[in-house]
């Protein structure tokens, strides 16, 4: 598996450098603009969790190099494991980099409210949340996977309007789902940082990643190249 | 004689195309040419051997091992050259090679460098700067640098200039002569295969029509030619395809000796080339 991670790294060095430059600009802007720890956590996890998988997997799709990967002496499950390892390694690097920028003198981010067990776990949780949905789709469908994700959200939005039209605002069945999701996120953000809650959050992170990996592995195994 | 490749009742269904129960073997130490018109199923077979697509039935054994259960082991012994080489365009050739090398225990860095020099490719050149022929050369250098026991090539000569095509074929021949290696090489350019292949498998519309030694095919198959009203296909033993022209009828047979015995001076007899066989069976109202 390490050979596959090394291969992914060597073949993506150039794009890593470009991503580093782009992220520098984004994180510096964020640090100068916002003084909210929640905004910092949300923004960094959104940008990193979506941009990194798309950047790496998009390259494979753009150059159609899945054939190269899958003709190497490795199982497809190992290839997916390597993709997850590599993506997580780069995302972890990006998180550390964002925190370093937030620690610079010009930054308005109250770093102490982010660098604590709950803040860090929240950052990793939201990162996992975005990444967990994006990577299986991109692994299986490449750029089309991104489109599938976006179109899926659009369809959900349209359905929301249709349901409002049909049932009115309060009796809208989608509203129940949206409110539940919103409540779930609010609960997580407002979680008391007790040992039990932090453990639960950690378990949710592991579950999200494990679920995402299993889905990606199943999708990639069925991919005809 | 041991087989490097054993394919049994291999099946793959697509919308509008089915590879139907393909069965053939490739003996170790030989060059097998896989011929057939475009869309016949050659690439499908090669992709199934490499597990790039999922099979719907059948079995592929490489060096006696199942290609799915022992995927990493068998792939470590294969040098694969795809019809359109795919590598990261913005990466230098040397970096691509150094990323791939650790996967192969028998990777020979000095041989790879020698091959790059021989093919006039610079390790610092970006892959996107290469022409199609150069990409093919690079792909071939990668396949040869790890001392693969089996070289799998899908249409490697398509789109190449005659000089490099000739070089490539000579190299394949020398690989086989000097070492105990096996080559499976798909092409619709039949003259290439006539030059180097020991065995030929002909595939048409997803079905294996025959898989035999090339010399036997060229020895026994023939084209029977006669005037317009002299012969009917049914008169010719082992008739496999027919072409009618204004001047007469041409019938492909897989047993030209039997045809000569049966028809005597009523017709003229030519040896069939692989191109004849492909043409008559795919376009000339072939009937296997």
- Model ipTM value: 0.84
Q: Which of A117-126, A143-152, B41-50, B82-91 is the least confident region? A: A143-152
The answer to whether A7 contacts B99, with C-beta atoms less than 8 Å apart, is: yes
Which comes out higher in pLDDT, residue B179 or A115?
Answer: A115
- All residues of chain B having their beta carbon less than 8 Å from the beta carbon of residue A64 are 86
Query: Percentages helix, strand, coil for chain A, rounded to the nearest 5?
Result: 85, 0, 15
Separation CA B120–CA B123 (nearest Å): 10
Nearest CA in chain B to A223: B53
pLDDT at A169: 66
Q: Does A29 touch chain B (CB under 8 A)?
A: no
Q: Which helix (H) or strand (E) holds A120?
A: helix A117-141
Whether residue B288 is predicted with pLDDT greater than 50 in this model: the reply is no
B66 touches chain A (CB under 8 A): no
Q: CA–CA distance from B131 to each of A58, B93, B118 (Å)?
A: 24, 13, 16
On whether any CB of chain B is under 8 Å from the CB of A64, the answer is yes
Residue B76 contacts A, CB cutoff 8 Å: yes
Instruction: Give the per-residue pLDDT at B227.
Output: 86
Q: Determine contact: A14 vs chain B, CB below 8 A.
A: yes
Q: Sheet containing B3-14: which strands, arranged edge to edge?
A: B17-27, B3-14, B57-62, B65-66
Among residues A53, A202, A77, A203, which one has the least CA distance to residue A136?
A53
Average pLDDT over residues B48-72: 95
Band of the pLDDT at A47, cuts 50, 70, 90? confident
Do B76 and A73 lie within an 8 Å CB cutoff?
yes
Mean pLDDT to the nearest integer, B141-169 = 87
Are A208 and A129 in contact, with CB atoms under 8 Å apart? yes
What average pLDDT does the structure give for chain B?
Answer: 89
pTM here? 0.85
Residues 6+ away with beta carbon under 8 Å from B152: B46, B49, B50, B78, B79, B80, B81, B183, B184
Most distant CA pair in chain B, distance: 67
Answer with the residue of higher pLDDT: B286 or B275: B275
pLDDT-based confidence at residue B214 (cuts at 50, 70, 90): very high
Tokens 């073949």, residue?
A11
pLDDT of residue B251: 92
- Neighboring chain B residues of A14 at a CB cutoff of 8 Å: 90-91
Among B50, B144, B142, CA closest to B87: B142
Contact status of A63 with chain B (Cβ, < 8 Å) = yes
Query: Residue B277: is its pLDDT beyond 60?
Result: yes
Distance between CA atoms of B223 and B273, rounded to whole angstroms? 9
pLDDT for the residue numbered B178? 63
> Mean per-residue pLDDT for A124-129?
90
User: What torsion do the CA atoms of B62, B65, B71, B76 make, to the nearest 10 degrees?
Assistant: -60
pLDDT of residue B93: 96
Tokens 């050369």 belong to which residue? B137
Task: Provide the pLDDT confidence category of residue B157 given band limits of 50, 70 and 90.
Answer: confident
Identify the pLDDT of residue A205. 93
**Residue B283 pLDDT more than 80?**
no
Checking if the pLDDT of A207 tops 80, the result is yes
Phi, psi values for residue B287, rounded to 5°: -145, 110
The answer to whether the CB of A6 falls within 8 A of the CB of A86 is no
Indicate left, alpha or beta for B15 from its phi (over 0: left) and psi (-120 to 50: alpha).
beta
A83: nearest Cα among A109, A59, A53, A110: A53
Q: Which residue has the higher pLDDT, A167 or B131?
A: B131
Higher pLDDT, A6 or A166: A6
**Residue pointed to by tokens 């937030």:** A102
Asked if A14 lies within 8 A of B73 by C-beta distance, the reply is no
Integer-rounded Cα radius of gyration of chain A:
19
E-strand spans in chain A? Answer: none
* B98: contact with A, CB 8 A cutoff: yes
Would you say residue B179 has pLDDT above 80?
Answer: no
Tokens of B128: 């996107």
Mean pLDDT (whole number) for B71-100: 93
Please give, rounded to a whole number of angstroms, the shortest distance from the CA of B157 to a CA of chain A. Answer: 19
For residue A42, give both structure tokens. 């949300």
Split at pLDDT 50, 70, 90, the class of A71 is: very high
- Give the integer Cα–Cα distance in Å for A180 and A187: 10
* A5/B contact by beta carbon, under 8 A: no
Q: Is the pLDDT of residue A18 over 80?
A: yes
Cβ neighbours, 10 Å, residue A212: 21
Least confident of B31-35, B163-167, B241-245, B267-271: B163-167
Of A59, A71, A225, which has the smallest distance from its Cβ to B88's Cβ?
A59
Is B106 in contact with B146 (CB distance < 8 Å)? yes
A10 with B51: Cβ contact below 8 A:
no
List chain A residues with CB under 8 Å of B103.
Answer: 3, 7, 72-74
Look at B75 and A63 and tell me if their CB atoms are within 8 Å: no
A75/chain B closest Cα distance in angstroms: 6
**What pLDDT, on a 0 to 100 scale, did the predictor assign at position B193?**
86
Q: Residue B234 CA to chain centroid, in angstroms?
A: 32
Q: Left (φ > 0), alpha (ψ -120 to 50) or beta: where does B138 sit?
A: alpha
How far is the C-alpha of A183 from the C-alpha of B64, rounded, in Å? 58
What is the CB neighbour count within 10 angstroms for residue A223? 16
Element (H, E) at A209: helix A195-221
pLDDT band of residue B166 (cuts 50, 70, 90) is confident
Structure tokens at A111: 């770093």
Taking Cα atoms as reference points, which of A89, A98, A93 lies closest to residue A119? A98
Structure tokens belonging to residue A114: 């982010």
**Judging by beta carbons within 10 Å of its beta carbon (0-12, 13-18, 19+), is residue B215 exposed, middle or buried?**
exposed
Chain B interface includes A72 (CB < 8 A): yes
User: Chain B closest CA to A171's CA: distance in Å?
Assistant: 44
């Amino acid at each position: 598996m390490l050979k596959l991670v090394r291969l992914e790294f060597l073949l993506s060095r150039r794009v890593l450098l470009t991503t580093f430059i782009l992220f520098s600009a984004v994180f510096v802007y964020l640090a100068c603009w916002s003084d909210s720890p929640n905004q910092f956590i949300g923004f960094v996890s959104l940008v990193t969790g979506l941009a990194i998988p798309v950047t790496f997997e998009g390259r494979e799709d753009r150059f159609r190099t899945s054939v190269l990967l899958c003709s190497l002496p490795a199982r497809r499950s190992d290839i997916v494991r390597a993709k997850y390892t590599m993506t997580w390694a780069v995302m972890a690097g990006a998180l550390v980099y964002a925190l370093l920028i937030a620690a610079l003198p010009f930054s308005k981010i109250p770093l102490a409210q982010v660098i604590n067990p709950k803040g860090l776990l929240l950052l990793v949780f939201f990162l996992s949340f975005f990444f967990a949905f994006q990577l299986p789709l991109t692994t299986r469908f490449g750029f089309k996977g991104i489109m599938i994700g976006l179109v899926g959200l659009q369809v959900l939005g349209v359905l929301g309007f249709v349901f409002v039209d049909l049932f009115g605002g309060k009796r809208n069945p989608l509203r129940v789902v949206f409110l539940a999701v919103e409540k779930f996120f609010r609960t997580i953000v407002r979680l008391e940082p007790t040992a039990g809650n932090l453990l639960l959050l950690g378990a949710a992170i592991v579950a999200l990643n494990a679920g995402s990996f299993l889905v990606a592995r199943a999708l990639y195994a069925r991919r005809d190249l | 004689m041991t087989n490097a490749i054993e394919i049994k009742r291999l099946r793959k269904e697509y919308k509008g195309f089915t590879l139907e129960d393909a069965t053939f073997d490739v003996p170790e130490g030989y060059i097998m040419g896989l011929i057939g018109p475009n869309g016949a199923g050659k690439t499908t077979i090669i992709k199934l051997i490499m597990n790039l697509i999922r099979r719907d039935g059948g079995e592929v054994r490489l060096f006696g091992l199942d290609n799915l259960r022992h995927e990493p082991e068998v792939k470590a012994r294969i040098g694969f050259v795809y019809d359109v080489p795919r590598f990261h365009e913005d990466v230098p050739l040397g970096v691509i090679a150094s990323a791939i090398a650790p996967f192969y225990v028998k990777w020979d860095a000095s041989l790879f460098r020698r091959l790059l020099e021989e093919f006039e490719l610079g390790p610092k050149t970006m892959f996107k700067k290469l022409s199609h022929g150069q990409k093919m050369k690079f792909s071939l250098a990668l396949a040869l640098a790890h001392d693969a026991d089996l070289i799998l090539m899908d249409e490697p000569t398509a789109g190449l200039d005659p000089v490099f095509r000739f070089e490539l074929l000579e190299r394949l021949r020398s690989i086989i002569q000097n070492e105990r290696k096996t080559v499976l090489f798909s092409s619709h350019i039949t003259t290439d295969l006539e030059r180097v292949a020991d065995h030929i498998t002909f595939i048409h519309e997803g079905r294996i029509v025959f898989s035999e030694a090339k010399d036997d095919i060229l020895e026994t198959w023939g084209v029977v030619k006669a005037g317009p009203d002299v012969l009917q296909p049914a008169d010719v033993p082992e008739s496999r395809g027919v072409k009618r022209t204004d001047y007469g009828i041409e019938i492909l047979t897989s047993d030209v000796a039997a045809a000569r015995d049966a028809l005597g001076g009523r017709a003229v007899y030519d040896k069939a080339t692989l191109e004849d066989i492909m043409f008559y069976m795919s376009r000339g109202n072939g009937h296997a």
